[in-house]
Amino acid sequence: MSEFAFELELCAHLETRRDGVLARQLGASVADPGGRILDVLCVEPGPEFDDRVRLTSESIPDAAIESAVGTGRARYWKTAFDCHPDRARSATERACEIGFFEREHRKGRDYVRQVARYPDWYGRIVGIENKPDLGRPGDLEAQLRTDVSLALVDEVILATESYVTRAHLNRIPEEVGVWRVHREDGAPLEIEIVREPTSLPVDEPGIEPLEAHPGRTEIAVVDPDAKARQRRRIAERTYGKGWRTYEFPDCGACDPDDSSGATLPYCEWKGRIVDAGSECGASCGGYDPVSDADTDTDADSVPDSDSDTDPELHSGSALESDADSATAIDLEAERDRRTPWKADPDGKRRQQSGLDQFG
Ligand code: SF4
């Protein structure tokens, strides 16, 4: 049972049934960045979602949003940030590059202003923990207890393929919703709701467990402002990154499958979706190398990186692995086509012509 295949199929299913944007594998801690990674994030649209879509396709760096740079008079970038100058410089450059800031150059100094006010664009955030096989739970209980006590996201859901018993339900916090996911060969994926989630108090202080020692666990009390900032970072990362951050192997056994509405890396040899990064290559018994002539990297499909020191945003590429196909697999175009996210919104184009003016 592959957790990776489960995750991609679940995302493809949710994309067709939920409003807003989805991402995979994002950090959901506050006091210990990277301490907790959530498998799937669903960010629901807020009142100004359309304004966010128009602004830029990329994640906006948090430092740029928090800065004193506004939409009115352009400000000297150095005086507009309350953080280390290197972080401020990097956020300024990235915000200009993605079209959130526009720049004027006066007397050897860069002055910046926001192209548009940062919108109130996201609503509830739902975190999903995937555990296809409850017989191999790993740290599941501790992870879900952390999610509930921190209450960074509005709802937490456990998604599994296993039959869920009363004993399973008793072991996980009662606030956690439970989905049983049915995946039969050739049939559309179905979600059976075993238990509805309870809304978590995202506006109240949260408790984040840090290190566990024999007999005691270090904790951090996380204040609501810190949670709100982290929620905004999660929402931004989700918007910019999306969930199509997987690769297609350069192997003849890969037969990309779009029957779910999203193109997924299906392997004929394994009979399931595969994670090219960890499963494919010469050491695989079914590896059938595709020649360079048959493989075409589609640069447009590689998500742009984010300068907000988030390594998770630097992954993602797609290869044309079907030699008979004249069209490269362009996951970015597919995301543009199938979701509210826009790869090349008007705001970005306006900013680029604005830059020419000062260039
Ligand atoms: S390398 Fe192995 S797992 Fe990957 S697509 Fe080829 S046969 Fe399948």
Residue bearing tokens 């493989």: 295
CA distance 48 to 352: 23
Condensed to tens digits (0 to 9), the pLDDT of residues 29-62 reads: 999 887 899 999 999 999 999 999 999 999 999 9
Contacts of 79 (CB under 8 A, 6+ apart): 68
- Whole-model pTM? 0.87
The C-alpha angle with vertex 199 and arms to 33 and 41, in degrees rounded to 5, equals: 45
Ligand 1 centre to CA of 253 (Å) is 6
Q: For a substitution probing ligand 1, which of 4, 251, 255 has the most ligand atoms within 8 Å of its CB?
A: 251
> Tokens at residue 316, please?
């993602």
Predicted confidence at residue 346, as pLDDT, reads 73
Is any ligand 1 atom within 6 A of the Cβ of residue 251?
yes
CA distance 80 to 189: 49
Is any ligand 1 atom within 6 A of the Cβ of residue 354?
no
What is the amino acid identity at position 98? I
What 3-state class would DSSP assign to 133?
coil
The arithmetic mean of pLDDT across residues 240-266, rounded, is 94
Is any ligand 1 atom within 6 A of the Cβ of residue 340?
no
What is the amino acid identity at position 140? L
CA distance 59 to 65: 11
81-90, 117-126, 184-193, 336-345: segment of lowest average pLDDT = 184-193
Ligand 1 centre to CA of 321 (Å) is 12
Ligand 1: atom nearest CA of 281 is 1
In this prediction, residue 292 has a pLDDT band, given cuts at 50, 70 and 90, of low
What residue spans define the domains of the chain?
A: 3-49+120-241, 266-340
Q: What are 37's strand-pairing partners?
A: 27
Condensed to tens digits (0 to 9), the pLDDT of residues 205-238 reads: 999 999 888 989 899 999 999 999 999 999 999 9
Residue bearing tokens 């949003």: 65
CA distance 303 to 242: 9
Q: What's the burial of 278, exposed, middle or buried (CB within 10 Å: 0-12/13-18/19+)?
A: exposed
CA distances from 207 to 20, 59, 148, 198, 271 (A): 28, 27, 9, 18, 43
| Closest protein CA for atom 3 of ligand 1 | 280
Q: What is the DSSP string of 249-309?
A: -SBTTB--B-TTSS-B-EETTTTEE--HHHH-STTSTT--BPPGGG-EE-GGGSPPP-TTT
Is any ligand 1 atom within 6 A of the Cβ of residue 5?
no
Question: 130: closest CA among 156, 99, 165, 169?
Answer: 156
CA distance 98 to 92: 10
CA distances from 171 to 28, 35, 43, 137, 194 (A): 22, 22, 27, 11, 15
Ligand 1 centre to CA of 271 (Å) is 10
| Closest protein CA for atom 1 of ligand 1 | 280
In this prediction, residue 325 has a pLDDT band, given cuts at 50, 70 and 90, of very low
Ligand 1 centre to CA of 254 (Å) is 6
Condensed to tens digits (0 to 9), the pLDDT of residues 181-204 reads: 998 877 889 999 999 999 999 999
8 Å CB contact between 208 and 31: yes
- 51, containing H or E segment: helix 49-55
CA distance 226 to 185: 44
Is any ligand 1 atom within 6 A of the Cβ of residue 267?
yes
**Cβ atoms < 10 Å from Cβ of 223:** 11
Predicted confidence at residue 222, as pLDDT, reads 97
> Tokens at residue 320, please?
């044309």
What is the amino acid identity at position 329? I
Predicted confidence at residue 187, as pLDDT, reads 80
